[in-house]
C-alpha cells in the first residue's frame, strides 16, 4: 500500500472520508478506524512490545495491575475489561488506541508543537476487511450480534483469557475492541482498541501483508499549522478530548507555546485568544 501524501485541508478530509457512503443503507457510515501520529516514521509498536519479553511479561503485568488496582466494584470484571482499564490508565499492554473519528485522528497528528517540523501520519484501517480474516468462531460472533466491533462481553464469550484468545488461530489475526465507557475521555475521543492475537507481532507488519485493508495518509509538516487551526476552530482540542483541568492546561500550553507562535508568525499571523471574545 503506497502512502497518500495530501497537500491541502480539502485533500486531507476527502482522503479520510473516502469510502464512507454505504449505498445499501443510503447513509455515510465509514468502515475505517483511524490512528493519528505526530511523526510519519513511527510504527505501530505497542507499549508492551517495547518492553523486554512481552509474552513472558504480559500475564505478570496484568495480574499485578488487577491485584493492586482492586476495588469491590471491579470484582466482576473480565480480563477484557481489566485490559481496557489498564490501557486507559497507561499500563503497558498489547492494545493500541484508535478512534472512529477522522477529526480526532487529525488532533493527534498536530497535538505536539515540538513535532510540527515533521510530517505526520494517519493510519486508516477498514475493520470490515480485517474481520474477514478472523477465526470462524469470532466471525460468527460478530454476525450473531450484527456488529463489526467486539465488546468486552463478546470477547469473554469467545475466550476467557488472553492465551485462549491467541489459541483461536495459528495465524496472527487482528480484532477491534470497543472498551466500556470508563470515563468521558473514552467517549469524547470516540475510542476503540486494536487487539493482535500475538503480542510480539507488530500491527504495521501484519497490515503490510494485507495491503487491501488499510491506507496511510501523510500530513506534511507544512500543512500541520493549518490543520491545527481548523481543529481549534472546530473545538477539537485537548480541553474536549481530555476533560478536566489536565486537558485544559494541555490545551493552553499547546495553544500558547512559543513553537506554535513561531510557525504562525512565519505565515503572517499570531493566534487569537482561544476563548474568543467571551
Determine what percent of the chain is predicted with pLDDT higher than 70.
91
pLDDT category of residue 71 using cuts at 50, 70 and 90: confident
Q: Report the DSSP pairing between strands 214-219 and 4-5.
A: parallel
E-strand stretches of the chain:
4-5, 21-22, 27-28, 32-37, 96-99, 120-126, 174-177, 191-196, 214-219
Asked whether residue 276 carries a pLDDT value surpassing 50, the answer given is no
| Domain-wise residue ranges, the chain | 4-43+95-264
The per-residue pLDDT for range 199-213, each reduced to its tens digit, is: 989 999 999 999 999
- Section 170-190 average pLDDT: 93
pLDDT band at 53 (very low <50, low <70, confident <90, very high): low
- Rounded to whole angstroms, the Cα distance separating 195 from 134 reads 12
pLDDT of res. 54: 59
Cell, residue 202: 507488530
Strands 120-126 and 32-37: antiparallel
Q: Which pLDDT belongs to residue 201?
A: 92
Q: Tell me the sheet residues that pair with 174.
A: 196
Residue 103's alpha-carbon distances to 172, 213, 228, 270, in angstroms, are 30, 21, 10, 23
Give residue 225's pLDDT band: very low, low, confident or very high (50, 70, 90): very high
Residue 70 binned pLDDT confidence (cut-offs 50, 70, 90):
confident
Kindly list the distances between the CA atom of residue 38 and the CA atoms of 87, 99, 110, 213, 262, in Å, as whole numbers in the listed order.
Answer: 20, 15, 6, 22, 18
- What radius of gyration do the chain's Cα atoms show? 20
pLDDT for 51 equals 76
Amino acid at each position: 500500500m503506497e502512502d497518500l501524501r495530501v497537500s491541502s485541508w480539502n485533500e486531507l478530509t476527502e482522503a479520510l472520508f473516502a469510502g464512507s457512503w454505504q449505498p445499501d443503507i443510503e447513509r455515510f457510515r465509514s468502515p475505517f478506524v483511524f490512528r493519528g501520529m505526530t511523526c510519519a516514521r513511527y510504527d505501530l509498536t505497542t507499549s508492551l512490545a517495547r518492553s523486554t519479553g512481552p509474552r513472558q511479561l504480559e500475564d505478570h503485568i496484568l495480574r499485578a495491575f488487577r491485584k493492586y488496582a482492586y476495588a469491590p466494584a471491579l470484582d466482576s470484571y473480565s480480563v477484557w475489561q481489566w485490559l481496557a482499564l489498564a490501557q486507559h490508565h497507561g499500563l503497558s499492554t498489547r492494545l493500541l488506541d484508535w478512534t472512529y473519528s477522522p477529526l480526532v485522528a487529525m488532533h493527534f497528528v498536530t497535538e505536539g508543537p515540538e513535532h510540527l517540523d515533521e510530517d505526520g501520519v494517519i493510519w486508516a484501517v477498514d475493520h470490515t476487511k480485517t474481520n474477514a480474516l478472523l477465526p470462524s468462531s469470532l466471525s460468527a460472533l460478530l454476525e450473531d450480534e450484527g456488529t463489526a466491533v467486539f465488546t468486552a462481553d463478546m470477547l469473554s464469550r469467545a475466550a476467557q483469557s488472553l492465551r485462549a484468545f491467541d489459541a483461536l488461530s495459528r495465524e496472527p489475526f487482528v480484532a477491534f475492541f470497543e472498551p466500556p465507557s470508563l470515563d468521558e475521555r473514552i467517549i469524547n475521543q470516540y475510542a476503540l482498541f486494536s487487539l493482535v492475537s500475538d503480542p510480539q507481532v507488530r500491527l504495521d507488519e501484519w497490515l503490510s501483508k494485507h495491503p487491501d485493508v488499510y491506507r496511510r495518509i501523510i500530513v506534511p509538516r507544512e500543512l500541520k499549522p493549518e490543520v491545527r487551526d481548523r481543529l481549534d476552530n472546530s473545538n477539537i482540542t485537548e480541553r474536549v478530548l481530555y476533560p478536566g483541568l489536565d486537558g485544559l492546561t494541555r490545551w493552553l500550553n499547546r495553544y500558547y507555546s512559543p513553537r506554535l507562535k513561531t510557525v504562525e508568525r512565519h505565515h503572517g499571523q499570531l493566534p487569537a485568544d482561544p476563548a474568543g471574545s467571551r
